[in-house]
Amino acid sequence: TDNSGKCPLHYAVEGEASMNTIRCLVKCNPKCAEMQDADGKTALMLACEQTGHLETSSGEDIAKSGHAEEVVEVLARASPQSIMLEDEEGRTALEHALVREAPALMIGMLMR
């Protein structure tokens, strides 16, 4: 980890790295999937923050998901216990997904 408590998996998720990269990082170090950064955020929480709805500079509401649903599935399977971890604000991955109005499929994955 670095000074902010982030491991390579955190950066890969934030940078929207390919699924091959995400899977490789999880396979090489499964514990990384449950690591929390200085803000208490796991890679799963970061993936949940990257989905849902965004507002453009012109005020247009657009859906954003990219491959976040697949990332969430991989991370949740790698570290089921990380689903219940809370960040410094007391939010779980599910709560991050709900705030971002994530698709129902993603919400369902986090509720299992």
User: For 9-61, how does the pLDDT look when each residue is reduced to its tens digit (9 = 90+)?
Assistant: 999 999 989 999 999 999 999 999 999 999 999 999 999 998 765 555 565 54
Given this model, what pLDDT does residue 107 score? Answer: 92
Q: Going from the N-terminus, what domains does the chain have, and what CATH number goes with each?
A: 8-111 (1.25.40.20)
Q: Has residue 62 got a pLDDT over 50?
A: no
- What HEC string does the chain produce? CCCCCCCHHHHHHHCCCCHHHHHHHHHHCHHHHHCCCCCCCCHHHHHHHCCEEEECCCCCEEEECCCHHHHHHHHHHHCHHHHCCCCCCCCCHHHHHHHCCCCHHHHHHHHC
User: For 66-94, how does the pLDDT look when each residue is reduced to its tens digit (9 = 90+)?
Assistant: 678 899 999 999 999 999 999 999 999 99
- Copy the structure tokens of residue 104: 């129902």
Q: Has residue 64 got a pLDDT over 60?
A: no
Given this model, what pLDDT does residue 59 score? Answer: 55
Given this model, what pLDDT does residue 103 score? Answer: 87
What CA–CA distance (Å, rounded) separates 42 from 45? 5
Cα-to-chain-centroid distance, residue 57: 24
Given this model, what pLDDT does residue 57 score? Answer: 55
Given this model, what pLDDT does residue 60 score? Answer: 53
Q: What is the largest CA-CA distance in the chain?
A: 42
